[in-house]
Chain A
């Protein structure tokens, strides 16, 4: 089972098991990572599951789709490595992925 590490803005580190095919957002919710809000439940319509992908993983995770990039307009402190975690699917290739959460998800 791939592992994903979430580093919250206050420095708290969670390394958790992720189910293949689930999204990174779902993985966060199942593990009670409260800085992922996911108000819309994975619909790519709320921008409250914003994460920063660790630079070393950027290439493997890839860029946001045009609709995801548009939804990032509703996030704050958007950076070059910003993604919405509901749109990142867990694959074997992402075993060890590190993402950081922003200090504010809009609520």
Chain B
């Protein structure tokens, strides 16, 4: 890459899926004048469209782009999401919600879960979720946006569940409206600088050459530039996360209610998702092809659908892992081209968004790519992927299920050392390894540990020193306050209708 310091960096995004249009729109909006963004896509290549369910971080992305939440939700048929309901993971018949929010409150510097374990020992504890506003609201199918103060009503967050096949086009429309130049075409060859090895242009099937300084590979699993052209290495995580296929089949809603949460149900060879949108229910089976054939998976998803199927099951193939370098030469992989983690915790769009945010922060300035910025980007991206990876592995490993080869494998496999230490620290002392960077914090780890029946052998000594009656009374008061707060919330569908009416009126 070699441009004068003052002329805009020519950014070429390859791929018009969710990651591609998020990247193009993000750069065009955040770096006007600094970057000139072009995007190459082909109608002949379908998009994977994963990531129907999102994490709360998506809200800040949408907001930063200056997109109106209501318009965005309308266009993508979005619903609100308070967390994920995990069923049958720790043991068949058990379930828990991993909420966007906390459980109880720290007391005298001791985490609430230690007090909960003490109440549990005394037979005075409710289920952990009863002390979480997000969980209680989710189970009651109620929703309203959190309060903007320090009260109980502010102790949760929310995300969206939307139609991923509509999100890409929405971002495309937005991206082109703010100056992203779109090229329809298939890449037939890639030109590179003979000395530096940098990519200099993409040649399309109609003979056009798209020159650029910086290339963003959003070509999905094919990883056309980063993987195929530059040969960036791949760290494979199949031995920890054996699921490598999904059978997806949208259905009609089976009931009038719309759940403000995603459901993940463990299956003999993986797990099944249900993502409620305004107009339909996303539905699919993520499975390990070593343990189940594609036909069997399609059959299973047909048989288990609650609403009327709206299409035939579609098979998606993937492999878990990430590139050893997400930024190599002048090519940056975003989305599936850089790595893949199954959508068990709805992290796909987050991981793309995270890479875009770091790229904007570390965007080339002053006429060239500095290897120090590239190293910093790769350090940050690797850390994010690895931390999410450990958290996903936990969902499989923390189980008592022995009803299939799949579960026998994940229950007994050797987990990464970084996770083994976290697990042991929890088992022995009920403590969570602490970090502020990365995605999942204490409350998330506790939700999964407790939800999947992995209780520590020992916990903090202090809760046992408190007066049991006071402890129990305080916990009951908290639960009552949560119940009262939730009772005042509208039903999720009702709230969506109100919002739709409000938008219609404003328009």
Do A and B actually bind? no
B: which residues have CB within 8 A of A?
none
